[in-house]
Amino acid sequence: MSDMVRRSEVRVVEPLYRCPYCYKRFYSYLSLYNHVRCRHGILVITNFQYQVLLACRKLTINGKEWFCFKDVYDQFVEMFKDAKRSRLRERIKNNLLSLTKMRLLEMRRMHDIIHFRLRR
């Protein structure tokens, strides 16, 4: 019977993420995101989402209230010339939709073209 029992090694994993407000530690980004959103009432966005939001703000400053995906892509490439081009269009499109779900952007559809604008 002792031959059938295998001993396994137990490893302790340290939490990787820390809340910037109360310094509580979490094992996954999703747990940290939910904690900060529900407990502290703050949205956490990724670095790439922030860059997309900066491109949208630049378009608004330049006088465009509503802008399409192509406008955001062109502005993003102009602002961040060193950005990796692999799947950049898909990443920007997905992040625009996620920023809309976070209610940082508004979205409308006109003639099968999706337009975005910053929420006030």
Residues 83-103 pLDDT 10s? 777 899 999 999 999 999 989
Instruction: Say how many C-beta atoms besides its own lie within 10 A of residue 3's C-beta.
Output: 5
Task: Taking residues 98-118, report their average pLDDT.
Answer: 91
Give the CATH fold of the 47-118 domain. Answer: Arc Repressor Mutant, subunit A (1.10.10)
| pLDDT band (50, 70, 90) for residue 81 | confident
Looking at residue 4, its pLDDT comes to 62
Give every CB contact of residue 18 below 8 A, 6+ residues apart in sequence.
Answer: 24, 25, 26, 32
Q: What is the mean pLDDT of the chain?
A: 87
Query: Mean pLDDT lowest for which of 14-18, 57-61, 77-81?
Result: 14-18
Q: Is the pLDDT of residue 30 over 80?
A: yes
> Could you tell me the maximum CA-CA distance found in the chain, to the nearest angstrom?
77
